[in-house]
Amino acid sequence: MSDAPFRNPGWAGNTGEFDLSEEQVRGEDFVGARPLEGGHAAGAASYPYMLADKEPEAPLFEGPYRARYEKILTRYPNTRAALLPVLGLAQEVRGHISPETMDAVARLLDLPDAYVRGVTTFYTMYNKRPVGRFLIQVCTNISCNLCGADEVMGAFLEHTGTEMGETSEDGDFTVVEAECLAGCGFPTCVQINSRYYENVDAGDVPKILEHLKIQGE
């Protein structure tokens, strides 16, 4: 795939350069970083809630996170409806949602503990266990699969030295299988923390991992 004539300008760039900055890929008009405390409340829920650096004991919520939490609550007629975005916020600061985090969120939103556990475990994006600094989700669904997703998956496992779902010894990488990521025209589509890498083939994998290790997020 790497010498295919056309590539989507995704995180992989259209040249397979995995070390491009957001602005380089998106153009100068892409407004990159957003204030941690959020802008208008309408967008307070949509933040990348998978960050490399995680603090499993971080308070729920303080400082700018508190501000975003309060903004989120204003957008719904009851606290229950804020549950998914608030769990997202909790994952953003803590990195995963432990049973204790579920209970803490339940208290915050005045919902029964068992209810919050039931909802949290329904959704796959809440990490129930700690994950590595980089959570690598490889789409192996049909469109990617037709174009070699299994090999890409194999390469990520091989080069991180892990089994699927396991975190590498240095704590850097967790590789999991993902269902269709809606990047099917640009196979294989891989999500690493909050970013999409598109048109990834097995040969690109060492480069991507090396870049992640050097740059952090």
Partner 1 sequence: MAYPYVSDREVRILSKHFGDPTARTLTGALANGRYSAFKKAVDMGRDAVIDQVKTSGLRGRGGAGFPTGVKWSFMPKDSGKPHYLCCNADESEPGTFKDRELIRWDPHQLIEGCLIAAYAIGAEHAYIYCRGEFFEVSSILAQAVEEAYAKGYIGKDIQGTGVDIDVTVHIGAGAYICGEETALMNSLEGRRGQPRVKPPFPAAVGLFGMPTTINNVETLAAVPHIVENGGDWYRQWGTEKSPGTKLFCVSGHVNRPGNYELPLGFPMKELIEDVCGGVRDGHELKAVIPGGSSVPILDAAECESCSLDYEGVVSSGSMLGCASVIVMDETTDIVKQVYRMAYFYAHESCGQCTPCREGTAWVTKILKRILDGRGTEEDLDTLVDVTTKMTGTTICVLSDSVAAPVQSSITKFRDDYLALIRRGERVGVA
Pick out residues in 172-191 that bind partner 1 (CB under 8 A).
178-187, 191
The answer to the question of residue 34 lying near partner 1 (CB under 8 A) is yes
Least distance to partner 1, CB of residue 87, Å: 7
46: partner contacted, choices ligand FES, partner 1, none (Cβ within 5-8 A by kind): partner 1
Site string for ligand FES, 151-180 (x = CB under 6 A): -----------------------------x
Binds partner 1 (CB under 8 A): choice among 18, 49, 173, 197:
49
The answer to the question of residue 6 lying near partner 1 (CB under 8 A) is yes
- Secondary structure of the chain in HEC code, one letter for each residue: CCCCCCCCCCCCCCCCCCCCCHHHHHCCCCCCCCCCCCCCHHHCCCCCCCCCCCCCCCCCCCHHHHHHHHHHHCCCCCCHHHHHHHHHHHHHHHCCCCHHHHHHHHHHHCCCHHHHHHHHHHCCCCCCCCCCCEEEEEECCHHHHHCCHHHHHHHHHHHHCCCCCCECCCCCEEEEEECCCCCCCCCCCEEECCEEECCCCHHHHHHHHHHHHHHCC
Q: Which residues bind ligand FES (CB under 6 A)?
A: 139, 141-144, 180-184, 187, 189
